[in-house]
Amino acid sequence: MHDWTGRTATALQRALRESNETFAATLGLSPRAVAKWHAEPDSRPRHETQQLLDRVLERASVSERARFAVELEPQQQTERSPTRQDSGHVLRVAIAVVVDNGNVLMVQRREDHTSTSWQFPAGMIKPRASSETTAIRETLSETGVHCRVTRHLGSRLHPITQVYCEYLLCEYLHGEAQNVDVVENVSVIWTPSDRLTRFIPVETIFPPILDALEVRNSE
């Protein structure tokens, strides 16, 4: 369970881009409770309310969780060093780089009501879950593709979202690629790996991903 305070609860509210009234309705609380978090950022919600906040965070989209992590970053700078990304206060996301005969699996993610971005299948790593299990599970739930992890490519604090990411190279097993999660994604495609930078700017791609795809293309 996340260690919620008034400050982190309102950070989640901003990440979801909800008003006090809407956020209160999402949680099933009164707007007065949300207003209190703004007035008393160091206050700690009751245990039941902390569980409600946990559930809202778990249901949030990847882009909303990324915004939440960015909201938390200023307050975390004084609480942890860059090497302590496994802290309970830091979101960890598994990124699945699924390949099949020189092609790589991509999802077109909804960022908000007006914009999208191309990404690899990804999902938040829940407490006590492994990055490998998360990568396999999220790939299936988003795209209908079954895969297996062949190699851990490394990890980093993402330069844009500031989310701690673990990258897994995965091998396609079976299943037809399709947009299973129509709420979070617009479409799902296979694209030749040498065209990857047409979808994702090369400067934001984790370098070991490019290295791994070049190795596969040369085999």
pLDDT per position as a tens digit, 137-179: 999 999 999 999 999 999 988 777 778 899 999 999 999 999 9
Of 218 and 100, the structure prediction assigns the larger pLDDT to: 100
Query: Under CATH, what is the fold of the domain 6-59?
Result: 434 Repressor (Amino-terminal Domain) (1.10.260)
Say what the pLDDT of residue 163 is.
82
| pLDDT of 212 above 60 | yes
d(CA 136, CA 98): 10
* Band of residue 214 on the pLDDT scale cut at 50, 70, 90: confident
Say what the pLDDT of residue 97 is.
97
* Band of residue 90 on the pLDDT scale cut at 50, 70, 90: low
* Band of residue 82 on the pLDDT scale cut at 50, 70, 90: very low
Of 113 and 110, the structure prediction assigns the larger pLDDT to: 110
| pLDDT of 76 above 60 | no
Query: Under CATH, what is the fold of the domain 92-218?
Result: Nucleoside Triphosphate Pyrophosphohydrolase (3.90.79)
Say what the pLDDT of residue 78 is.
38
Q: What is the pTM of this model?
A: 0.61
Say what the pLDDT of residue 146 is.
97
**With 0-12 CB in 10 A as exposed, 13-18 as middle and 19+ as buried, what is 69?**
buried
pLDDT over 70 percentage in the chain: 88
Say what the pLDDT of residue 86 is.
42
Domain spans in the chain, listed from the N-terminal domain onward? 6-59, 92-218
Lowest mean pLDDT among 14-18, 61-65, 176-180, 193-197: 61-65
Residue 65: φ, ψ to 5°: -65, -35
Q: What is the mean pLDDT of residues 185-195?
A: 93
Say what the pLDDT of residue 73 is.
61
| pLDDT of 195 above 80 | yes
Mean pLDDT of the chain, nearest integer: 84
Say what the pLDDT of residue 112 is.
67
For every residue of the chain, DSSP letters joined together read -----HHHHHHHHHHHT--HHHHHHHHT--HHHHHHHHH-TT----HHHHHHHHHHHHHS-HHHHHHHHHHHHHHHTTT--TT-TTSTTS-EEEEEEEEETTEEEEEEEE-SSS-EEEE--EEE--TT--HHHHHHHHHHHHH--EEEEEEEEEEEE-TTT--EEEEEEEEEEE-------TTTEEEEEEEEGGGGGGTS-GGGS-HHHHHHHHHHHH-
